[in-house]
Chain A
Amino acid sequence: MRTKLLIVTLFFGFFMTFPLMAAPASGGNETHEQEFNAGHLIIDHIVDSHEWHIATIGHTHITIPLPVILIDQGKFHVFSSSKFHHGHSSYKGFKIETERNANKGKIVKVIPGTMQTDTAAEKPIDLSITKTVAGIFVSFLVVILIFSSVARSYTRNKGHAPRGLQSVLEPLILFIRDEVAKPSIGKHYERFMPFLLTLFFFIFFTNLIGLIPLFPGGANVTGNIGVTLVLAAFTFMMTAFSGNKSYWQHIFNTPGVPWWLKFPIPLFPIIEITGVVVKPFVLMIRLFANITAGHIIVLGFVSLIFVFGKISPGLGYGVSVVSVFFAVFISVLELLVAFIQAYVFTLLSALYFGMATEEHAHAAEHH
C-alpha cells in the first residue's frame, strides 16, 4: 500500500514539473528574441485557450486541439483549433488574436489574404469548446460518475452503514444539510438541497481537479470569471424565484422606514436592489479571485526559478529548492481553499435563500 502510494507520488511529481519546466522554454525557443516574461506566462496559463497545452518537449508542442464552433452572420463554422497552428495561421478568414489587448486569445476575423485583424468586421459568436469548457465537461463527468455510484450504493446499501465512496462523501452531504442548509434556510431547506449539494460538489471537485497539473485536470475552471458568473447567476435566479411576498416587500417597500426615504426619491428601494445584485456579484468575484490567486502564486513561485535562472543557472537551481517548497506549501493550502471556497459559496447561497423564504414576524401579523 505504502509503496504503491510512493510510486504514484513520484509519477505525479515527475509529470507535475514537466509542463511548467517546458513552458518558459517554449516561450524562449519559439520566438527567439522574446524574453521570458513571468506575467505573460502566468496569464497565459490562467486564461482560457482554444487548445489544451500538455507539454512542450524541445520545439514540439504536445497539445490537444479543441473544436472551434463559430456562428458568423448566421452560418455555422465547425473545425479543429489545430487549423490555426497555435495561432500562427488563419483559417476560413478567422484567427486567434495574438496581440496583447482586450481580445487576446479570442477568435477574430482577418482582412482576407493577410494576418491582419479586421477591426471593422463584426466578431463571430464563439461557441467553441475551449480549455475551460473542456474542463467543465471533465468536472461534469467526474461528478456524474462519482455520484451515480454513490446513489447506487445508497439504494443497494439501504439501512446499512455507508461504505466505500459513499462513506467518504456522506459526511460532506450531511455537513451541507445540517451545518449549511438547515441553520441558514430554516424549515424550507429541503427545497434547496439539490441545488446546494450540486453547487457545493461541483465547485469542490472542480477546484480539486484544477489543482491536479496533469492533463484532465489543471484547467483553471473555477478561476474563470465566466464560470463563477454562471454559478452566481444560478444562485441569483434561485433567490429571485423563491422570494416570497415579504422578501419583495422588504425590497420595494421596506417596513419601518420613514416614507420620505422611499418617495419621491426611492432611496431605500435603490439600496435594496443594489444589495440584491451585489450579493451574487460578490459570490462571483470571491470564488474567481481565490482560485485564480492560488494558481498565480504557484506559477509565480515556479517562474521565480526561471527569472533567477536567467541571471545565473546556479542561482536558478538554488532558488528552485525554495520555490518548489513554497509551491508545494501553497498547493496544500489550495486544497484547503478548494474546500473553503466551495463551502463559502454554498453557505452564502443558502443564506440568500434563507432571506428570500424567511417569514417575518411583523409581516405575519397582517395576515
Chain B
Amino acid sequence: MELVNPGLGLIFWMVVAFGLLLFILGRFVWPPVLRSLREREQSIELALHEADKAREEMKQLVFNNEQLMRQAEEERDALIRDARRVRESLIEEAKKQATEEANRIVENARERIHFEKMEAITELKNQIANLSIDIAEKVIQQELSQPEKQQEFVRRSLGEMNLN
C-alpha cells in the first residue's frame, strides 16, 4: 500500500511550498491582477455608459436642431404672412386716401365751378339790367321827344297811378 502511504517529509515540504506559493502569489500577484482587471472592467463599463450618453445627447441635439429649424420656418412663414398683410393694408390705405383726395379735389372743383357760374350769372344779370336801362332810357328819350306824347304819357301814368 505504498501508493496511499505518503511520507511525512513530502507532506512537510508540500505544506512549506504551497504555503509559500500562497503567500507570494497572494501578496504580490493576485492583488495587482485582480485590481487591474476590476479597473479595466470599470473603465470599459464607464466608456460604454458614456458612449450611450453621448448617443442620447446626439439624438437630443438632432431633435433640438430639427425643432429649431421648424420654429425658424414657422417664424419665416409668419413674417412673410405679416408682410403680405401689411403690404395689402398699406395698398388699401393708400387707395382709400387717394380716392378721398380725388373726391375732395373733384368736390372743390365742382364748388368753384358753381361759384364761378353764379358769379358769371350775376354779372350777366347786372349787364342785362344795365343794358335794359340803357335801352329803356333810349326808348323813353325817343318817346318823349314830342310834347303831345309827353302829355299822353303823363295822363296814362296818372291813370295807372289811380290817385284816390
Contact = CB atoms under 8 A, between A and B. Distances in A.
B7 A48 contact: yes
B7 A130 contact: yes
B9 A158 contact: no
Contacts of B30: 193-194, 197-198
Interface in A122-166: 125-130, 132-133, 136-137, 140, 143-144, 147-148, 150-151, 154-155, 158-159
B153 to A, nearest CB: 151
Where chain A touches its partner, the secondary structure class is helix
Contacts of B43: 159
A43 B2 contact: yes
B161 interface: no
Contacts of B26: 194-195, 198
Residue of A125, A127, A154, A226 ringed by the most chain B CB atoms within 10 A: A226
Interface string B1-31: 1111111111111110110111011101111
B36 A197 contact: no
Given A47-B2, A230-B18, A234-B18, A133 B9 contact: yes
Given A105-B2, A195-B26, A202-B21, A159 B10 contact: no
B3 A151 contact: no
A293 to B, nearest CB: 11
Contacts of A103: 2
A48 B14 CA distance: 13
Contact of B39 (A137, A144, A159): A159
B25 A143 contact: yes
Where chain B touches its partner, the secondary structure class is helix
Interface residues of A, number: 53
Contacts of B4: 225, 288
Contact of A126 (B5, B7, B25, B37): B7
B24 A130 contact: no
B158 interface: no
A106 B12 CA distance: 15
Residue of A177, A202, A230 ringed by the most chain B CB atoms within 10 A: A230
B8 A229 contact: no
Interface string B41-78: 00100000000000000000000000000000000000
B10 to A, nearest CB: 4
B114 interface: no
B139 interface: no
A341 interface: no
A230 B8 contact: no
B163 interface: no
Contacts of A214: none
A12 B37 CA distance: 36
A227 to B, nearest CB: 5
A227 B14 contact: yes
A251 interface: no
B25 A198 contact: yes
Contacts of B36: 154-155, 158-159
A225 B37 CA distance: 35
B23 to A, nearest CB: 9
A159 B7 CA distance: 47
Contact of B32 (A143, A151, A195): A151
A230 B22 CA distance: 13
Nearest to A105: B2
A133 B3 contact: no
A102 B6 CA distance: 11
A62 interface: no
Interface string A169-201: 010011001000000000000100111011000
A230 B2 CA distance: 18
A43 B8 contact: no
A140 B21 contact: yes
A301 B40 CA distance: 48
A125 B10 contact: no
A129 B115 CA distance: 152
4 smallest CB-CB distances across A and B, nearest first, come from A226-B6, A194-B26, A226-B10, A230-B14
Given A144-B24, A158-B40, A159-B39, 13 more contacts: A69-B9, A125-B8, A127-B12, A130-B9, A136-B13, A154-B33, A155-B36, A158-B39, A226-B7, A226-B14, A227-B10, A230-B14, A230-B18
29 contacts: A48-B7, A48-B10, A69-B9, A106-B7, A125-B9, A126-B8, A128-B7, A130-B7, A132-B10, A133-B14, A137-B17, A144-B21, A144-B24, A151-B28, A158-B40, A159-B40, A170-B37, A173-B33, A173-B37, A193-B30, A193-B34, A197-B25, A197-B30, A198-B21, A198-B30, A226-B6, A230-B15, A230-B18, A292-B3
